Amino acid sequence: MGAIRALCAGVAATLSGERTWEGSPLTVREIFQKAPEPARLRPLLMPFEAAVYGGQGVDVVAYDQAARVAEPFRQPTGAAA
């Protein structure tokens, strides 16, 4: 669950600012709606919600799809420094 959370936190930070994940009253779904094409984040959102709210595990295939979806939102190393 930690890995999928980290992916979502990274995307949320890119969309709404670095501290969004820790202090926003918005849900992940609401934050992701700020993306240019929010539907493209569905392969990341669905396993996150299943894991966090449904207590389900995230399999390798779902994680790999989520990671691919999150990739364009990752900041290059050193960008935040």
Q: What is the pLDDT of residue 22?
A: 79
- Distance CA(43)–CA(76), nearest Å, equals 22
Cβ-contact 45, 36 below 8 angstroms: no
Task: Name the one residue in this structure whose structure tokens are 């670095």.
Answer: 18
Q: What is the pLDDT of residue 79?
A: 52
For residues 20 and 5, the model is more confident at 5
CA distance 27 to 29: 5
The tokens 């984040």 sit on which residue?
Answer: 41
The single-letter code of the amino acid at 52 is V
pTM of the full structure: 0.84
Give pLDDT tens digits for 11-45.
999 998 877 777 888 899 999 999 999 999 999 99
Distance set, CA 43 to CA 25, 63, 70 (Å)? 23, 9, 9
- How confident is the model over 36-74, as pLDDT tens digits? 999 999 999 999 999 999 999 999 999 999 999 999 988
